[in-house]
Structure 1
Amino acid sequence: MSEQRWLQLVCQTDQQNHAIIENAMESANALSITFQDAKDTPVLEPLPGETPLWDELIITALFDYDTDLSKLTNALETHREEWHVGSVLVETIEDQDWERVWMKDFHPMQFGDNLWIYPSNYDVPEDDSVKILLDPGLAFGTGTHPTTSLCLEWLDQNHPTDKLVIDYGCGSGILALAAAKLGSKNIIATDIDPQALTATYDNMERNNISKDAIQCYLPDDCPQQPADLLLANILCGPLRELFPLFASLTRSGGQLVLSGILSEQKDQILETYSAAFKDFEVKILEDWVRISAIKT
C-alpha cells in the first residue's frame, strides 16, 4: 500500500489581502489553510473571539495530490501586484505521522528543583520527582514558552498545599495540573476558549487527577470565591483590564502570580497592581517577566 501524498502551496502576502487569497485557495478545494508570521513580529493581546494576524504573513494551503492548481497559481501570478503576493511555492508533501514528528522534539523538561514535564510516550523514571504527562494539543501551554516556565518554576518553589488556586487563562491546564501535583485539592481553571477546557480535562485524565480537584469554567461561569493563589499567564493588556477582578478573586494575604508580560511592560503592571497588592517580586527570562505579589 503506497503512502498518501498531498500538494502544498505556500505564498506570502499582507494582512489586507489575505482574505481574497484564502478565498481563492478555498475555491481550489484546499483541505486546510494556515497562517504564519513572515517577519517574526509577535501578535499580542487578542480580544475574545478575535483572530489577530501579522502585517506580513505566509499562507500555507494543503490540497489532495491530484488537485489541478493551475487556475490558482495563474490567479496569484496575474494579481501579484494587486494582492501583494510575494514568493509562491508548490511542493509535494509525503505522508507522515505528524504528531509523532512533532513529539520527537518534545523532551522532558525540568522546572525548579523537582517538577518535570514528560511527553506521554516517554519512559518516565520511578523517582521522587513531581511529574506531569503532557502532549501538545489545541491549547497553549506545554512548558516550552518562558512565561509558562516562569510560572512552573514559581510553583515548584511555593507548593500550594491545601490552597484554593485559580488558574486564569488555563490553556492546556498545565499550571492547574502542577498545582494539583504540588498539593492543592481545590483548583478553578478558566479560559475564554472552550478548547482549553477540553484540553485541561484531557490532561487531568492523562495524569490521573480527580475531576474533583480541578473544576473548569468559562470566565462568565467562574465562581467568585476569593482564592489563596491566583495564577494568570496571559498578556499585559488583559492583565491590566482584569486588575479589579483579580483583586476581588484574591483573598487578603493571598498570593498572585502574573506572567505573559514583556520586560518593557513590567512597570505598567506594577503600577496597576500596586493599588491592591504589595511585596512584589520580579523574575525575567528571555525578555519575559513573572511578577508575584501579596494581596493587601
Structure 2
Amino acid sequence: MAWLQLRINTTSEHADAIGDMLSANGSQAVTFVDAKDTPMYEPKPGEVLLWPDTQVVGLFDASDDMKRIIDRLGKARVLGADFKYKLEPLEDKDWEREWMDNFHPMQFGERLWICPSWRDVPDPNAVNVMLDPGLAFGTGTHPTTALCLRWLDGIDVKDKTVVDFGCGSGILALAALKLGAKRVIGIDIDPQALQATEENARRNDVASRLDVYLPENQPQIEADIVMANILSGPLLELQPVIADFCQADGLLVLSGILAEQVPKIEAAYRTQFTLDKSAIDGEWARVSGKKHP
C-alpha cells in the first residue's frame, strides 16, 4: 500500500488538537516530531512530552483526497487557511521487516548481551538477555540504558538483592537476574511497564526471582544494589526514597541524567554515598557509588 505523510509545524499548545483533527480526517497514524531538532529526553513511564515547537505528522492512504482534507483543515481556527504544511509520499516498504532489521544483538561489557528473539545469539556461552521492543521503554539502544548495563556487567551481582526503580521494560532487572542476582524488585508508576517486565522475565526463565510493584504498594526493603534509570528531576525529588532502598555498603547506579545535570545529582547523593567518577556517553551520564556504612 502507498502512503502520504502530511507534516504540520505548530506549538506544543496546539499539537494535540491538530493531531485529533488529522485523525478525524482519516489519518491512519499521528506522531509528534521535534520541529527544531531539539533532543527528546526519556520521559517517565506513561508520560508523553511535547516539544515547544512540534511537527505533527499524519499518515494517509495515497488514495485519499488530500486537497479536500487540507481545505477542511484550513477552516479550523487553530490552523487558518494559510497554514504551512508539507505533503510527501512515503516509500512503500515491508515496514515490519524494516523495523525488525534495525534491532541487532548488542554487547555490554565483557559478559552481557541483549538479543532480540528473531536474531541468532552471537555467543551461547555469554549472559544473554532475550528482549524485544514492546510495551515499555528500554531495549539497550539508549545511552542511559547502555551506561547502566555496562556498570552491571562490571560488578558482582551474584546472590544479591536488587531494586530496579523505574523498571520500564525490565531490561536492567533481567540483566541483574541473568548475572546471578538472588532477587530483583521492579518498581514503576506505569502498570504496562510492570506487565512488560513480568512478561520479559518469563521469556528469560527468571520470573520466579522477580517481584514488581507500583510505588504505592512497594515494600520496605534494603537492597544490596539499587538501580534508577529515570530522569534527573525524579532522581532529585525522590532521593530519600531511592537512597533508603540501599543498605549500608550497598551499591547505587543512577542514569537518565544529562551531562550538565551531574553536579546537582552528585550533590544530592554525596551526603549518603561515596561516589565513583561519573561516566559520560555523549550528552548522557551515569552516577554510581557505595552507601556509607
Normalising by structure 1, report the TM-score: 0.89
Please say if 1:184 is aligned against 2:181.
yes
Partner residue in 1 for 2:287: 291
1:176 partner letter: A
Number of residues of Structure 1 aligned to a counterpart in Structure 2: 291
1:67 Cα shift?
Answer: 3.4
Indicate the RMSD between aligned Cα atoms, in angstroms: 2.4
Give the % identical residues: 47
Partner residue in 1 for 2:252: 256
1:269 Cα shift?
Answer: 0.5
1:188 Cα shift?
Answer: 0.7
Distance 1:56 1:224, change over 3 A: same
Please say if 1:151 is aligned against 2:131.
no
Partner residue in 1 for 2:264: 268
After TM superposition, the structure 1 = structure 2 runs for residues 50-199 of structure 1, keeping only pairs within 5 Å, are 50-76=47-73, 82=80, 85-91=83-89, 94=92, 96=94, 98-125=95-122, 127-199=124-196
Partner residue in 1 for 2:229: 233
Deviates more, 1:253-262 or 1:129-138: 129-138
Distance 1:123 1:46, change over 3 A: closer
1:71 Cα shift?
Answer: 3.2
Deviates more, 1:150-159 or 1:67-76: 67-76
* Matched position secondary structure for 1:94: coil
After TM superposition, the structure 1 = structure 2 runs for residues 38-53 of structure 1, keeping only pairs within 5 Å, are 38-44=35-41, 46=43, 50-53=47-50
1:214 partner letter: L
1:293 partner letter: G
After TM superposition, the structure 1 = structure 2 runs for residues 195-234 of structure 1, keeping only pairs within 5 Å, are 195-209=192-206, 211-234=207-230
Contact in 2 for aligned 1:45/1:236 (Cα 8 Å): no
Distance 1:293 1:100, change over 3 A: same
1:81 Cα shift?
Answer: 6.7
Partner deviation per Cα, 1:211-249 (whole Å, 9 max, x = no partner)? 221112222112121111100011111100010101211
Contact in 2 for aligned 1:185/1:214 (Cα 8 Å): no
Deviates more, 1:80-89 or 1:166-175: 80-89
Partner residue in 2 for 1:25: 22
Contact in 2 for aligned 1:228/1:250 (Cα 8 Å): yes
1:179 partner letter: A
Distance 1:103 1:46, change over 3 A: closer
CA distance in 1, matches of 2:199, 2:263: 37
